[in-house]
A and B are shown apart, each in its own frame.
Chain A
Amino acid sequence: MDLKYVGKDIPRVDAYEKVTGTTKYMSDLSFDGMLWGKVLRSIHPHALIKSIDTSKAKALPGVEAVVTWEDVPGLNGFGIAIQDQPVLCKDKVRYAGDAVAAVAAVSKEIAEEAALLIEVEYEVLPVVDDPIRAIEPDSPKVHESGNILLHTEIRKGDIDKGFDEADLIIENTYYASRQEHAFLETEDGIALIEEDGTLTVYAGSHYPHRDQLQLSRCLNMPVEKIRVVSSPVGGAFGGKDELTIQPIMALLALKTGKPVKMVMPREESIISYWKRHPMIMIYRTGVKRDGTLVANDVKVYADTGAYASLGGPILNLALESSCGLYRIPHVHIDGYSVYTNNGISGAFRGFGVPQVTFAMESQMDIIAEKLGLDPIEFRRKNILKKGEVAPIGHHITTDVESEAVLDAMEGSRLWRERERYRGTDKNRPWIKRGVGLALSWQGMGLGVGLPDFGDAVIEMDPDGGFIVRVGCVEIGQGAMTVYAQVAAEALRFPIERIRVVIGDTRNAPDAGPTTASRAAYVGGKAIFLAAEEMNEKIKGYASGMLSVSPDEIEIDDGSAYVKTAKDKRVSYEEISSYAIERGGLPVAEGHFDLPTADKAIEGAFGLPHHIYSCCGQIAAVEVNTLTGQARVTDGAVVVDAGTVINQGGLEGQSEGGFVMGTGYALTEDLIIENGVVKTPNFSTYIIPTSKDMPSSIETIPVTNYESTGPFGAKGIGEIGMVPTAPAVTNAIYDAADIRVFKIPATGERIYELLKQKKGENK
């Protein structure tokens, strides 16, 4: 097919607004008579609330409302999967940062002062901060039901037989840190009551329609009376998937009848909201002398913190990918998602998979080295292909371009020229250089048993242009541009005259969450289907106007014409006038159900997925053996992308993912000690800056046509950061002969490992 917009170098439709500072984020809105909201949060990680006295706060001039749990009209609980997190705590706090009360006042300063006047009497409880200790029966309980949120066990084959067959068994324990999303716009927004009594909430998030549903439960208000606008978002990466400030702002707006704005200062944002799950992963992998994997025994403890949110699904997605994209006959996977008082863990780009990929791909590197095999050859020998049985026991029925990804990794410049990036630096002999790689795979979409669909609406506007409505959000990834491209292509219509409306429950239909690498794929496909219907309607009008049958009409570039007589044509402006005269402008709807697997994995809700993405990465590093600091100098990202809709967007995701992954590998560690966050700001929680950037990141798409996606596209939003950490730590091993079992591999940790190695060599 000759494509005009898809795959072309189309600049972002929102770029000029953003570079000139005219984009209005939710945090930039203000309304007349607006109040400022402030949350009083628990300073204790675990405590009973004995009493809450708001009288002094209420008496402060300028304070218009103080709310506690008593003011929650509906269910005092939210959570995407399980609603166990109170909007405002009633009798117990479970993490330092838990919301206890909130104030609305005429100024930010008065709101802050008033919050400090609220007196809460606590009875401090012992802190639960170790996920392994937490599941012991005598551990203090975070929730009455116990500390195990989810236990999933999956068996395939006979694990003991597998280890009997193995010539080499490698056993290690890996630790992955708690990662902060570090989006630049914190959790900010405004809630207000409209003249007709309905509630509007403006707050950046991944899924306005689900926010609306959750708010409806908490506020005991019909869904129709709540409007949520959640786009554009100043970055999210999963961190705004769950509710954040929305229910508290809404309570304050309902109580005062006035617009209430809340802005999270960075420290409050980091202390109070979602993180990537820290995981402890115990791996025992068996392999034959010739490099055939025969057994993998995996145990995972995920620290989900104080509340459920998506802790269960995250554990299961991690387990699905925990054995890598490899053919392993005998598998035992045992995972726990555990409540603790360590803040709250939730969705984050990769959804549990970066952690287990670090563990499994380290195992693979160790085995390849022990058996003297080339790391790519070793992976190729065991790689799973379409039609084969995955480690959790289901057949892979769709294309996951595993072999093509390995081929492209092998063919990448960095791998071919790797000798140039290895060895001791001649001028600085304390600098050791090395190259490492890792492979990953991840399910796309929400998985079996969950509603996973997208709706889109296309309307012709009175000038003969189009409005495309789809409920996903612009989170920075370029959704609006991709949607405009897909619509322009499918409508065969100039992109400049297509307006995309997203992220608003009133003005765009539900297209599911902008998560799980699904927004371009599902939203794009729904738009494609709506466009097909619109094209039929246009042909219908044109046939009436040109007095021929609709089959004889062709459309292109904003006009409809008779196939056999191209000068007989009508413009879309004319069609719109014609349609208005006949009852109204055409509207078309598209509905797409994401294909799911036909059989579920017993005991593992949501598994398996049906479509997978695959990504392989190569990293070149320098290790300074004097300071222990490692630096990524070059990278290559090979990603199974299906059709690339927007090359610039793909590179943005791949480079951004890779650099986020290097931060995860080397510096990022949200430290919580005794339930208290020790790194609550960017001066202590270190993310990569322009100076940490590698000299080159080569992005290599493997472009196999995904038959179910829009123009053959599939999702790539998450996978770009999934294999980075093990690629980096494997490169550190190649450089300095030290094996990293705990990320981040900070300077201190590497220095310690170098010191240990020196001791061993003596």
Chain B
Amino acid sequence: MKVTYIINGKKQEFDISPGEILLDLLRDNGYMEVKGDCYEGTCGACTVLINNVPYASCTTLAAGVDEAEITTVKGLGDINNPHPVQQAFAKFGAVQCGYCTPGEILSAYALLLKDPDPGEEDIKRALDGNLCRCSGYMQQIEAVKIAAKMMREAGDNGRV
């Protein structure tokens, strides 16, 4: 069957099998920034945004999100033009091995779209589905606070 997505702003069509998992489809098509292999939705490394809501792509059927807008971390910004959430993570020590980072950044971005000035508990709740084994989560939480401030100051809510 055929599905159409808008991935990072670009319309893409795929021929998929009915049982295909979104994570596999994305990685097989070169979206290597989407990580993860728990296939039960518990580690959060495979997080993508589907219509700006974070989902574990490892438990999402590709067929179920036909016509969706999908955002990966590359959709937020690149090295030359990183998004404030990406900048804050990079600058404030929120990255170690980096494998959880794309998913965490997307969860943080989705939170900030809804709530430009989240409290610490809100941030913890938003990142709860993204496991990180290197850090103690403190630097990520700080980074989200800093990103929120940068986005508020920029005034455009940081939406990409």
Contacts and interface: CB of A to CB of B under 8 A. Distances in A.
Nearest to B104: A690
A687 B136 contact: no
B124 A693 contact: yes
A110 interface: no
Contact of A682 (B32, B131, B134, B139): B131
B99 A185 contact: yes
Contact of B136 (A21, A266, A658): A658
Contact of A656 (B76, B96, B131): B96
B130 A11 contact: no
B137 A693 contact: yes
Given A184-B45, A660-B133, A687-B131, A652 B96 contact: yes
B93 interface: yes
Interface string A8-49: 000110111111111111011000000000000000000000
Contacts of B141: 690, 693
Pick the most buried of B43, B124, B137: most chain A CB atoms within 10 A of its CB: B137
Interface in A61-105: none
Task: Classify the secondary structure of B's interface with A.
Answer: loop
Interface in A324-373: none
B98 A234 contact: yes
A21 B73 contact: yes
A183 B133 contact: yes
Given A12-B90, A652-B135, A184 B99 contact: yes
B145 interface: no
B89 A19 contact: yes
27 contacts: A11-B90, A12-B90, A15-B90, A15-B91, A17-B98, A21-B32, A21-B102, A108-B24, A182-B131, A186-B37, A232-B98, A234-B98, A235-B97, A235-B99, A237-B133, A266-B43, A651-B138, A652-B139, A655-B135, A655-B137, A659-B137, A682-B38, A683-B40, A687-B131, A689-B129, A690-B124, A690-B132
A19 B140 CA distance: 12
A151 B78 CA distance: 55
Contacts of A681: 38, 40, 42
Contact of B93 (A12, A27, A475): A12
Contacts of A252: none
Contact of A18 (B42, B95, B131): B95
Contacts of B36: 184
B128 interface: yes
A590 to B, nearest CB: 26
Contacts of A478: 96
Interface of A: 11-12, 14-25, 27-28, 108, 181-186, 188, 232-235, 237, 263-266, 269, 475-478, 648-649, 651-652, 655-656, 658-660, 681-683, 687-691, 693-694, 697
A266 B45 CA distance: 12
Contact of B100 (A184, A237, A658): A184
Contacts of A687: 131, 133
Contacts of A697: 136, 138
Interface string B51-93: 0000000000000000000001110111100100011011111
Contacts, number: 179
A665 to B, nearest CB: 14
Given A19-B82, A20-B86, 16 more contacts: A12-B90, A15-B91, A20-B78, A181-B133, A184-B43, A184-B131, A185-B35, A233-B97, A234-B99, A266-B39, A266-B43, A269-B37, A651-B93, A652-B135, A682-B38, A690-B132
B117 interface: no
A264 B133 contact: no
A691 B124 contact: yes
Contact of A476 (B37, B72, B89, B98): B98
A22 B43 contact: no
Contacts of A237: 133
Interface string B97-120: 111111001000000000000000
Given A20-B79, A651-B139, A656-B96, A691 B128 contact: yes
Contacts of B91: 11, 15
A17 B66 CA distance: 30
A652 B134 contact: yes
A342 to B, nearest CB: 23
B79 A18 contact: no
Given A660-B133, A691-B124, A19 B95 contact: yes
Contacts of A477: 96, 134
Contact of A689 (B35, B73, B78, B131): B131
Given A28-B32, A683-B40, A689-B128, A475 B137 contact: no
Contacts of A181: 133
B123 interface: yes
Contacts of B7: none
A72 to B, nearest CB: 27
A693 B99 CA distance: 19
Given A12-B90, A24-B32, A184 B97 contact: yes
